[in-house]
């Protein structure tokens, strides 16, 4: 059924701020008589999903006047807090650009962060104090740093890859989930996801490269 657009604009961003404060979302007046779901959006990260609700916001999603008549599919995605791929192409594109395969090397470098070392300075009573403990600042230490996949190094390395967890709705209303290496290989029936379980990061055990860039455990 063709989507009905009553008003394209969503509620003002103030709703997001209100939602984050923990206040209870207000119910919005709605004159649509048929059973329906509204499109809820977060314009900051391009996430949107259809929900059977008239609340002005749900978590960080703001209710819009855009709606669809209720169907079995829409009822199930609302009940299971699912997002449809077709409604979130921009979001998925952003995620895929950030989740490219990476290699990190464990290098000794001059880095900024917290570490155990000597601290000194004047106290509130004006006394100069010198002690050893947890402090912060630049110091020499080992850390994981990203390097090109085709770069050879004698440092220990680890590989980071990503998988995408997607769902399909079965005939009986239950959900099935699968992990995919890329979003391009997803079959048509797996067209749903949840934002908090979409990406699975896989970090390999540390290993050393040989001169031919072959893993030597």
- Residue found by looking up tokens 């657009």 in the block: 5
Q: How does 168-182 read in b/e, with b if 16+ C-beta sit within 10 Å?
A: bbeeeeeeeeeeeee
pLDDT at residue 16 tops 90? no
Every domain of the chain and the residues it spans: 14-79, 81-217
pLDDT at residue 11 tops 70? no
Q: What is the pLDDT of residues 177-194, one digit of tens each?
A: 999 999 998 999 999 999
Provide, for the chain, the percentages of residues in helix, strand and coil under a 3-state DSSP scheme, each rounded to the nearest 5.
Answer: 15, 45, 40
**23: which DSSP letter?**
P
pTM for the whole structure: 0.74
C-alpha radius of gyration, the chain, whole number:
25
Q: What is the pLDDT of residues 24-77, one digit of tens each?
A: 889 999 999 999 999 999 999 999 999 999 999 999 999 999 999 999 999 999
Nearest to residue 161, comparing CAs of 146, 181, 147? 181
- Residue 165 CB burial class (10 angstroms; 0-12, 13-18, ≥19): middle
Alpha-carbon distance values, 127 to 45, 117, 130, 135 (Å): 50, 20, 10, 19
Supply the pLDDT for residue 213: 62
pLDDT at residue 206 tops 60? yes
Cβ-contact 63, 56 below 8 angstroms: yes
Cβ-contact 61, 38 below 8 angstroms: no
Portion of the chain with pLDDT greater than 90, in percent:
66
Supply the pLDDT for residue 148: 94
Q: What is the pLDDT of residues 115-148, one digit of tens each?
A: 788 777 777 777 777 778 888 888 888 999 999 9
Q: Which residues contact residue 187 at a Cβ distance below 8 angstroms, ignoring those fewer than 6 apart? A: none
Summary mean pLDDT of the chain: 85
């Amino acid at each position: 059924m063709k989507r009905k657009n009553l008003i394209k604009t969503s509620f003002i961003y103030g709703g997001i701020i209100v939602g984050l404060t923990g206040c209870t979302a207000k119910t919005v007046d709605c004159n649509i008589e048929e059973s329906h779901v509204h499109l809820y959006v977060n314009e900051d990260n391009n996430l949107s999903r259809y929900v059977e609700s008239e609340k002005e916001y749900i978590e960080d999603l703001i209710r819009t006047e855009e709606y669809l008549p209720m169907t079995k599919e829409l009822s199930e995605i609302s009940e299971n807090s699912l997002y449809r791929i077709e409604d979130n192409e921009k979001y998925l594109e952003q995620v895929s650009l950030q989740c490219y395969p990476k290699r990190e090397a464990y290098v000794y470098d001059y880095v900024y962060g917290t570490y155990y070392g000597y601290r000194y300075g004047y106290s509130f009573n004006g006394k100069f104090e010198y002690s050893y403990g947890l402090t912060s600042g630049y110091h020499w230490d080992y850390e994981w740093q990203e390097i090109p996949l085709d770069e050879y190094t004698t440092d220990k390395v680890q590989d980071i890859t990503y998988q995408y967890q997607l769902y399909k709705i079965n005939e009986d209303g239950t959900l099935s989930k699968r992990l995919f290496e890329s979003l391009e290989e997803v079959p048509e029936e797996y067209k749903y996801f949840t934002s908090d379980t979409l990406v699975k990061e896989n970090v390999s055990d540390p290993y050393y490269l040989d001169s031919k860039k072959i893993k030597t455990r």
